[in-house]
Amino acid sequence: MENILDLTRRVLTTTPARWQSLISALPEDLLRRQPKSGEWSALDCLQHLIDTERGVFPVRIRIFLAGKDSFPAFNPDAEGTPAGQRSPLEMAAEFTQLRQAGLEALERVTPADLSRQARHGELGLVTLEQMIHEWAAHDLMHTVQAERALMQPFILGSGAWLKYFIDHIAL
């Protein structure tokens, strides 16, 4: 794979604009709609991204760069913030602001730093490079998860075309 620092920066840079577009184009009730009971709505996904920008990825970069030997795991169910407290526009604005700070943290990482190691509270010994890969994958995964939640009413109303969406239905 090409330079992971550059590729991750590119992925992380696109996410706020994707969210701004979704938030400005779609009604709040659709953004808050869970695909099924117990699954995250689009706004739940955005809130999780806010939580991880605030207290996980940039914090972990600082831990790695400071040479600390461990950091705790993050449990979104226990440590996450409920999505219902603010408007979608406020959430998207906060995410955009936090992401800028996250990108600034990523800019401090050099290729020589990628081999730095620390012990994750749940996973054991990990490298900074692995965590940076995870950050990009995490961003994309939760954006796809949000879009899957948004798809559900459209899929269910597609009639004869429903068969084309079987892999995407939240059962």
Longest Cα separation, the chain: 58
* Amino acid making up residue 160: A
For 71, the domain range is: 4-168
Burial 121-153 (b: 16+ CB within 10 A, else e): eeeeebebbebbbbbbebbeebbebbebbbbbe
77: Cα within 13 Å, side-chain hemisphere: 2
Number of domains in the chain: 1
Strands in 97-157 per DSSP E: 117-120, 124-127
Q: Supply the CATH number for residue 113's domain.
A: 1.20.120.450
Alpha-carbon distance of 10 to 105, in angstroms, equals: 14
- pLDDT tens-digit profile, the chain (171 residues): 569 999 999 999 999 999 999 999 999 999 999 999 999 999 999 999 999 999 999 999 999 999 999 999 999 888 888 877 789 999 999 999 999 999 999 999 999 999 999 999 999 999 999 999 999 999 999 999 999 999 999 999 999 999 999 999 987
Q: What is the pLDDT of residue 171?
A: 73
Whole-number Cα distances in Å, 47 to 96, 143, 156: 12, 11, 26
